[in-house]
């Protein structure tokens, strides 16, 4: 299964199948595109598994299946540690507040990131607006150069 570069796992109500996912990923060592439920993604037995860390490090595209499960804000730092090569990420967080913090973490730590899609279900409790200038400043901070024409 060395030719497999893309793999996806359905979402299940429990985490009892994490070991199956481990064995499949180990059998497909060249996977660079992974679709998986956040239920498995945040499971410590899975994400901290020594047999999978080298596979996680080569993943370029990660899609966390949207639904009833969210990627918790306190997990995002571990996510960037385990998946440092990400260029494309899709995930769901609980609220817009979490979305803002998640964007900050992802843009600060994933230097090759070129595509980011975040779903959220709760409206913001922020006292300040999330302005266009804020996004541009964060983008410049992360990438160090002007990649968009903000003067239009």
**What is the SS3 assignment for the chain?**
CCCCCEEECCCCCCCCCHHHHHHHHHHCCCCCEEEECHHHHCCHHHHCCCCCHHHHHHCCEEEECCCCCCCCHHHHHHHHHHCCCCCEEEEECCEHHHHHHHHHHHHHHCCCCCEEEEECCECCCCCCCCCHHHHHHHHHHHHCCCCCCCCC
**Nearest residue to 82 via CA among 130, 47, 122, 117:** 47
Residue 14's pLDDT is 75
Asked whether residue 143 is assigned to any structural domain, the reply reads no
Asked whether residue 152 is assigned to any structural domain, the reply reads no
**Nearest residue to 74 via CA among 36, 102, 50:** 102
Residue 55's pLDDT is 96
The rounded distance, in Å, linking the Cα atoms of 40 and 96 is: 23
Residue 76's pLDDT is 96
Residue 24's pLDDT is 95
Give the structural domain span for 89: 6-124
Residue 152's pLDDT is 47
Asked whether residue 145 is assigned to any structural domain, the reply reads no
The rounded distance, in Å, linking the Cα atoms of 96 and 130 is: 10
Asked whether residue 132 is assigned to any structural domain, the reply reads no
Asked whether residue 150 is assigned to any structural domain, the reply reads no
The rounded distance, in Å, linking the Cα atoms of 11 and 4 is: 20
Asked whether residue 25 is assigned to any structural domain, the reply reads yes
Asked whether residue 43 is assigned to any structural domain, the reply reads yes
User: pLDDT 10s digit of each residue in the chain, 152 long?
Assistant: 889 999 999 876 778 889 999 999 999 999 999 999 998 999 999 999 999 999 999 999 999 987 778 899 999 999 999 999 999 999 999 888 888 889 889 988 998 999 999 988 776 655 555 566 776 676 677 666 555 554 44
Q: Is the pTM of this model over 0.85?
A: no
HEC string of 45-83 equals HHHCCCCCHHHHHHCCEEEECCCCCCCCHHHHHHHHHHC
Residue 96's pLDDT is 80
Asked whether residue 135 is assigned to any structural domain, the reply reads no
If one counts the domains in the chain, the total is 1
The rounded distance, in Å, linking the Cα atoms of 111 and 106 is: 9
């Amino acid at each position: 299964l060395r030719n497999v570069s893309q793999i996806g796992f359905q979402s299940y109500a429990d985490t009892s199948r994490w070991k199956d996912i481990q064995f499949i990923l180990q059998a497909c060592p060249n996977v660079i595109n992974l679709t998986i439920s956040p239920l498995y993604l945040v499971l410590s037995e899975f994400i901290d598994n020594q047999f999978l860390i080298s596979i996680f490090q080569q993943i370029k595209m990660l899609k966390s299946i949207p639904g009833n499960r969210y990627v918790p804000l306190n997990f995002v730092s571990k996510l960037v540690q385990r998946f440092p090569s990400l260029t494309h990420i899709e995930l769901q967080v609980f609220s817009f507040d979490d979305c803002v913090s998640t964007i900050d973490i992802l843009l600060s730590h994933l230097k090759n990131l070129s595509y980011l899609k975040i779903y959220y279900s709760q409206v913001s409790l922020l006292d300040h607006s999330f302005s266009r200038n804020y996004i541009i400043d964060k983008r410049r901070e992360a990438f160090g150069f002007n990649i968009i024409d903000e003067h239009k």
